[in-house]
Structure 1
Amino acid sequence: MIDRLLDIVNLTGQEFALLAVIVLVAGIVRGFSGFALSALIMASAVIILPPVELIPMLWWLELSASVLMLKGGWADADRTAAIGLVIGSTAGWPLGLWLTLSLPVETSKIIALAVIITLAVSQLSKLKLPFLATKPGLYGTGILAGIVSGLAHVGGMVVALYVLASDAPARQMRGSLVLFLFLGSITSMVTLLAFGVMDFSGVSRGLVFALPTLLGVYLGQKLFTPGLAQYYRPFCLVLLCALAGAGLIRTTLS
């Protein structure tokens, strides 16, 4: 039965075990931070699969996590902003995915990891851009998030930068991210199908690894301690930079 499962997901036993651990840990981070699931998996698992094969799998994992967290996200989110971001993201997704499909695998790996590091460092430095708080900034952020999602499936981090610019409460930031990722999953599926990226391997891997991801999200929500909330986000971003940096060095030297 194990051999049959490995054939379905087209992975070796070692790759399967490593990927299961990666998505479990990423799920825990998503559970208490509200974001970084795809970024953590992309930064870690890019040594196993190229970005173009990770992106369809990540679609299913993000959808699963968003469904589990949607109740609180819907209540807390800035819905107007979330919908505007999704509209912009829908326009940007095709361009990002086209870049991923057009570039050599090693080049797309390097770009994906570099994007993750840049966004993480930007958030660690508490970069705030007043322009983002305007309506053009809203849709521009959405378009950029769509491009980055198509390239590395880390559009949530771009949206987090937008929320920082508006000085939204942490609860609203978390909710808006959850709602954006959920609604964005619906529109991005159309793009993935149109480009032929959502293939059998992507679906099978997504459904199989959704289970450890959901377990991680559940544990992350349970482990969340409001008194320590101020330390969670910096920890996640530092971890993200470390993982992406290590992956970038390994990809560059290989």
Structure 2
Amino acid sequence: MSWLYDAAVLSQGEFWLLTAIVVAAGIVRGFSGFALSALIMAAAVIILPPIELIPMLWWLELSASLIMLKGGWADADRTTAYGLVIGGVIGWPIGLWLTTSLNIEMSTMIALMVIVLLAILQLAKVRMPFLATRPGLYGSGFISGIASGLASVGGMVVALYVLASDAAARSMRGTLVLYLFLSLIMSMVIMLAFGVMTSGSVARGLIFAIPTVFGVFLGQQLFIERLATYYRPFCLVLLCALAGAGLIRTQLS
């Protein structure tokens, strides 16, 4: 097994800890349709710096998306997914431009606080009718793009938008799966442009794609009709937890 540790450029302990992390995150992704990268980033930052995790996560997201795409494509609200991606493509460059003029720590903290607030409002069943309109769709995608470029939390914004709908759990999950798959193309172009995707990142991504797929498969088995009623509250609580962890990390850094 030493060749595997060498290929991943990790010690034996780091390798198996990261394996456990990606399996657990894969289970959540398989059930919820999102949060793989956010969970791994939150837990694995003690092993690898974000600049090394980001390109590895691209391969893990790709492997998860390929496993889930068939069901996601069938269940998704494609009009919603396409609209969110279009808005995101427009907003991403603006977010990147804003990073040069704003305090990133403060921007990230504000974005995470807004996500927590909106998730709590949804848990309290406060209606937000504007989100059901076409401007609300493209506007949410646009804001998610800005949030991605500015604070890397655009996926959480999209999840909030999808969870605000009255759609069935299977449709919400499928829309998130389709959105994340389409977004992978844009993110690969950006990483290649910035020279972040290296041969070492590819090797590490392919190695950890295997336990990720195993976790996603387990998570998919949990998405049964009996548990579907808990899908929306589970995802909203998950968003609160992720954003809360991000706020704590921001304060400690």
TM-score for the superposition, normalised by structure 1: 0.81
Greater shift, 32-41 or 240-249, is seen at: 240-249
**Matches for 1:187-198 after TM superposition, within 5 Å:** 187-198=186-197
**Matches for 1:1-254 after TM superposition, within 5 Å:** 1-2=1-2, 4-96=3-95, 115=111, 118-120=114-116, 122-126=118-122, 128-150=127-149, 153-238=152-237, 241-242=240-241, 245-246=244-245, 248-249=247-248, 252-253=251-252
Partner SS for 2:206: helix
CA distance 1:116–1:186, change in 2 (3 Å): same
Q: How big is the shift at 1:203?
A: 2.0
Distance 2:232 2:165 in 1: 17
CA distance 1:111–1:72, change in 2 (3 Å): same
Q: CA RMSD in A?
A: 3.1
Name the amino acid aligned to 2:37.
S
Distance 1:11 1:152 in 2: 28
| TM-superposition CA deviations, 1:181-234 (whole Å, max 9, x none) | 111111221111112222233322221111111100100111223212233443
Q: How big is the shift at 1:86?
A: 1.2
Q: How big is the shift at 1:68?
A: 0.6
CA distance 1:132–1:71, change in 2 (3 Å): same
Partner SS for 2:192: helix
CA distance 1:235–1:193, change in 2 (3 Å): same
Distance 2:72 2:242 in 1: 27
| TM-superposition CA deviations, 1:116-173 (whole Å, max 9, x none) | 5653553243065333333332222222223333456543321122223442222211
Q: Could you tell me whether the CA contact under 8 Å between 2:119 and 2:240 is conserved in 1?
A: no
Distance 1:116 1:177 in 2: 19
Q: Percent identity?
A: 68
Q: Could you tell me whether the CA contact under 8 Å between 2:62 and 2:184 is conserved in 1?
A: yes
Partner SS for 1:125: helix
Q: How big is the shift at 1:45?
A: 2.0
**Structure 2 unmatched ranges of 5 or more:** none
Distance 1:149 1:204 in 2: 25
Aligned structure 1 segments of 4 or more residues deviating by more than 6 angstroms:
98-104
Distance 1:53 1:74 in 2: 30
CA distance 1:63–1:27, change in 2 (3 Å): same
CA distance 1:7–1:68, change in 2 (3 Å): same
Q: How big is the shift at 1:24?
A: 0.6
**Structure 1 unmatched ranges of 5 or more:** none
Name the amino acid aligned to 2:144.
A
TM-score for the superposition, normalised by structure 2: 0.81
